[in-house]
Structure 1
Amino acid sequence: MAKKSSIEKNNRRRKMVKLAAGRRARLKAIARDKDKPMEDRFAAALKLAELPRNSSATRIRNRCEVTGRPRGFYRKLKMSRVALRELGSKGLIPGLVKSSW
């Protein structure tokens, strides 16, 4: 089980990304637009830099929904390989059959 603080920090980041997504997208569009004057593009880049770091989507870490483990993560199931193996062995994941010989 991962530290509770790490899991909560990641959840706060998810919320912050959701809140700032629209504003961040508008500023990025202005900063990348080659037709706009250089001053406007530079001002947009400065405003983008003033936003909190945790409002960037790249700061989010994929974590297991069951254990909070950050490594060995399956996006489709939103869980780690360890949790997947445990739940699969117990027959709690529909359509998953653990092989044994």
Structure 2
Amino acid sequence: MARKSWIQRESKRQKLEQKYHWIRRSSKKEIKKVSPLDQKKWEKIHEKLQSSPRNSAPTRLHRRCFLTGRSRANYRDFGLSRHILREMFHACLLPGTTRSSW
């Protein structure tokens, strides 16, 4: 189980990302439209983009396990970590999956 502080930090990042999503998106579109010769306008848009908090960047988000909060070895299709997924396979809780035996 992940620490509760890590999970809370991640949820805070998700909220910040949602809050600043449209600001970042519009600023990036404006930068693409500005010609390279108009340096002052480009710097103004760039400052606006840089003024947003670092934790609002989408690259700082991590996928976490739905049940345990584990940040590593997550499967997108299920939203679960490999430990929980394996337990569910063995308990036959996920339809269409088979156990592998060697």
Q: Determine what percentage of the aligned residue pairs are the same residue.
A: 36
Residue 67 of structure 2 corresponds to residue 70 of structure 1 = no
Conserved? CA contact 2:34–2:41, under 8 Å: no
Unaligned runs of 5+ in 1: none
Q: Distance in 1 between matches of 2:53 and 2:34?
A: 25
Computed over aligned residues only, the root mean square deviation of the Cα atoms, in angstroms, reads 1.5
Q: Distance in 2 between matches of 1:98 and 1:68?
A: 24
Question: For 1:1-101, what aligned pairs fall within 5 Å after superposition?
Answer: 1-35=1-35, 37-101=38-102
Please report how far the alpha carbon of residue 34 of structure 1 lies from its aligned counterpart in structure 2 after TM superposition: 4.2
List per-residue Cα deviations over 1:6-53 (Å, max 9, x = no partner).
111111111111111111101112223343722111111111111011
Conserved? CA contact 1:31–1:44, under 8 Å: yes
Return the TM-score normalized by structure 1.
0.89
